[in-house]
Homo-oligomer: A and B are copies of this chain.
Amino acid sequence: MNKSLTKLLSSVKLKNTGQPPGTLTAQEKTSGTAPPKITVIDYSENSLQENTIDDIASFSQYKNTDTKSWINISSLGDIETIKELGEVFSIHPLVLEDILDTDGRPKIEDLDDMVFTRIKMVYFKNKSNEIITEQVSMILGKGFLLTFQEYEEDVFEQIRNRIRNARGKIRKMDCSYLFYSIIDAIVDNYFHLPAVLGENLEGVEEKILKDPEPEDISLIHKIKSDLILIRRAIWPLREIINSVLRGEYDLIDDNIQIYLRDLYDHIIQVVDWLETFRDIVGSLIDTYMTSVSNKMNEVMKVLTIIATIFIPLTFVAGIYGMNFENMPELGWKSAYFIILGVMFLIAAGMVAYFKKKNWL
């Protein structure tokens, strides 16, 4: 749990207190990094153009064109770039602040001529089993889509290939289909999460039933914390897609409703999984408790029984160890062997009693 707790805590941080709203601040973890790489894919049903651009002012050319432009900003380290971009596309400073605030909740907002949304990619870091959440912000405008990512690697390469190769409907439909495709790619990746968590859980259960150890309960609590983290990232997305389905945003084409409904189903399915895992984690904690106390009970029982059998025998031996002058039995010839026999009978009787009582 420790790691998850630390992870959780690292994302509690103070807002830029006292600054006027809309003051941009780089996240500590991203600031100071190299300026963001900006790529543009400008496409229509018949044309395709792909560029990497440094001069932000030149972006304005993509703003009011007939072609569709996907402008991807691959890191949030350089505030100036973000600010200039904001000016070119006349984005409200509070929205830019939201883009930079990588610990915020997923949300969607209607900005009259644009739609802003902020969602989370969630995945397990390769080996450490640590959960990473990465924010993807999008601004959908008429004829363009801006995407902001925290880091350079992404899961959108297959979307780019579909655009390049004109596979599927992506080149034919407008930017809201691209908008949908990106969310869809992110949601598809969510399905890795229950798979990994499930594998972890399955191992834990077998371990617990055989040999419960404190580390196991730590691991279960870690998974529980992971589920909280994941839930915080995914749950709001459900409401976001729902509000799009209700048709609250004009910029999102009615033709993609059927795709969004499909997307909504997938999200529900992931959320469903997480709920099921929560139940299972609760059961596992119970199982652990039961298993520990069963094992302890078994130890205590066998040991106590051994002790109990020998205590009366030791008492008998103690009696004939007394030094009274007048103890007639002591002089009898086979007294010693008789007493040994009596002791054996007592022990056998007790074992039989315990067996009968089903304690042994």
Q: Which residues of B contact A211 (CB under 8 A)?
A: 358
* Structural contact, A315 and B310, CB atoms closer than 8 A: yes
Give min CB distance, A256 to chain B, whole Å: 10
> Contact at A290–B214, with CB atoms within 8 Å?
yes
The residue that A330 contacts in the complex, of B283, B325, B359, with Cβ under 8 A, is B325
Main secondary structure of the interface of A (DSSP, over half): helix
State how many angstroms separate the Cβ of A18 from the closest Cβ of chain B.
3
Mask: chain A, 311-336; 1 = CB below 8 Å from B; 0 = not: 11111011111111111011111111
Give 1 or 0 for each of A95-108: 1 = CB within 8 Å of chain B CB. 00110000111010
A261 near B: Cβ within 8 Å? Answer: yes
Assess whether A272 is in contact with B232, with CB atoms less than 8 Å apart: yes
Chain B residues closer than 8 Å to A289, beta-carbon distance? 290
Interface-lining segment among A56-64, A74-82, A273-281: A273-281
Asked if A1 is an interface residue, CB under 8 A from chain B, the answer is: yes
User: At the interface with chain B, which of A29-37, A41-49, A131-139, A292-300?
Assistant: A292-300
Instruction: Give the interface size bracket for A toward B.
Output: 35 or more
Contact B195 A12 (CB under 8 A): yes
Copies of this protein in the complex? 5
Q: Which of A196-223 contact B (CB under 8 A)?
A: 198-199, 201-202, 205-206, 209, 211, 214, 217-218, 221
Q: Are A98 and B262 in contact (CB under 8 A)?
A: yes
Q: Given the complex, which residues of B lie within 8 Å of A185, measured CB to CB?
A: 17-18
A242 within 8 A of B: no
Any chain B CB within 8 A of the CB of A286? Answer: yes
How far in angstroms is the closest Cβ of chain B from A119? 14
Decide: B262 and A94 in contact? CB cutoff 8 A: yes
Contact A323 B326 (CB under 8 A): no
In the complex, residue of chain B having the shortest beta-carbon distance to the beta carbon of A343: B319
A-B contact pairs, 13 of them (CB 8 A): A5-B198, A8-B276, A12-B195, A13-B191, A18-B155, A18-B157, A18-B188, A92-B258, A232-B276, A290-B292, A292-B294, A303-B304, A314-B314
Binding site for B on A (CB under 8 A): 1-2, 5-6, 8-9, 12-22, 92, 94, 97-98, 103-105, 107, 109, 155, 157-159, 162, 167-170, 181, 184-185, 187-189, 191-192, 194-195, 198-199, 201-202, 205-206, 209, 211, 214, 217-218, 221, 224-225, 228, 232, 258-259, 261-262, 265-266, 268-269, 272-273, 276, 279-280, 283, 285-294, 296-297, 299-301, 303-308, 310-315, 317-327, 329-336, 339-340, 357-359
